[in-house]
Structure 1
Amino acid sequence: MQVTRPEGHPGTLYIVATPIGNLEDLSLRAGKVLERVAVIAAEDTRHSGRLLQHLGISKPLIALHDHNERDKARGVLERLLDGADVALVSDAGTPLISDPGYVLVREARAAGIRVSPIPGPCALVAGLSAAGLPTDRFLFAGFLPAKRAGRQAVLDELRKEVATLVFYESPHRIMNTVADIMDVMGPQRDIVLGRELTKTFETFYSGPAADVHAALHEDTHGSRGEFVVMVRGAEKAEAGLMAGALDVDRLLTLLMPELPLKKVARLASELSGLSKNELYQRALELRNSEG
């Protein structure tokens, strides 16, 4: 049943989460909303059309994606202001989470239109729930830059972040991304990769970055499917190893070949004001990672 409100009463914009793989993950409420709205704004109308066909739902579809959202948002808002309910869906998962919809939601709220989330599948949450990494604090950074220099620059900015880091990655870049994590954060940094979540060939790879990189290389399916990349945050001691503009890791690396570790830690402590014991442990970690 389609609902259109009386004149002067705007409709509701529903943000509907759809399956990331397994179609049975669509919630009962999401299915009812898709059946009830007047129109569905979809990232890819062909993809969403197949989902609607599976559900036995026939609705008008509007393409709303990264390249046309600013132009299409006005037309969707007009329908909402005329009293029609609209559902926003992406190709998979929750809209706006590395998917289109920000412009539409922002303008709908500015126009006084009710925006209602219909929660459901989300790849980053699904991955975190099964990763075995700390989830009391996490930082989602979407997709890393496609080029190595940009990717390493972002990883370097996040190297001392204590929260668990979460990224999305495509199959043709996953090997290079894990290699960059090894280079920037160290080969012993724990990571977990979730591949093809909720699908038939769902796979998790976990362990030190170097081991995960080797496992991907050995797996003939290791570069297939979509990935959620999760990286354990830095230890608090490691995160504190930055005093102003002084990069303590670099200081320790320069001093270690010249002095015993205890003297390295004492000198670095005097220069940085950080704990000598903390610096000694970090120097040990750096030396072991080189070996």
Structure 2
Amino acid sequence: MSKGSSALNHRSSIKWALSSNIPLLLMTLSGIACFICFNYLPMGGLVLAFKNFIPRRGIFGSEWIGFKNFEFMFRNPTFWLTVKNTLLYNGVFLVTNVVFPMSLALAINEVRSKKLARVFQTGMIMPHFISYVVVSVILFAIISADSGIVGHFYKNRGLMPIAFYSEPKYWPFFLIFIYVWRGTGYSSIIYLGSITGISDEYYEAAVIDGATKWQQIVQITLPFLKPMAGAHDHARGFHVLQQFRSVLSGAHEFRPALFRYEYHRRVRL
């Protein structure tokens, strides 16, 4: 067969595939439009990094100042601290994003009662649907030294309340706890789905060979979960630092925890 005829057949197969899948292609248009509107069009705002942005002048009317905003940022004494904290938080979140959801999925999978397993799973998923604005209000109501539950607990016993909400040293624990509490249940669904997709033949063969339950988890379940863990961790890593703006907005005395927060708080555009 000549190259010309093979190329013609290839083009014909492409046309046939397009014509036979027109309904499916039309269904993707709304998703493509949303992706363009919310992911690509906002990139035009990157020009603000090179301008002395004044709202009344708008984006195009503001003065072009080149790299002065970046010079200001790099000369800021807290910049490298925010970079360090950003990397540390990212590392901790990526680890907890695998360990806790996977452990929860393994635990739920061992619950023999299907109804009880659904109850546990529903209870663990619910925190995911609580917005971070509500989480910040709940956190303030619990740990505020003046009006929080913990503050009243100390006052009723004649003790000086601890300013948990305004002390920087306590916030790493709060942020990690909030992230784990809110995301573990929801993320465990992915791992639980992967576990249920593993063929029972592997476990039956392991039982015949005398493997214990722990050996079955280590030798069978975890290897099957590794690809899913990598893909899920990779996807969650891009969004992990976008989640605490609402929580941090009320902590006026909290010193830099995330680069994104500190950048918006200090850098002048």
TM-score (norm 2): 0.19
TM-score (norm 1): 0.18
Q: Higher strand share goes to which structure?
A: 1
Larger Rg: 2
Q: Which has the higher contact order (CA 8 A, sep 6+)?
A: 2
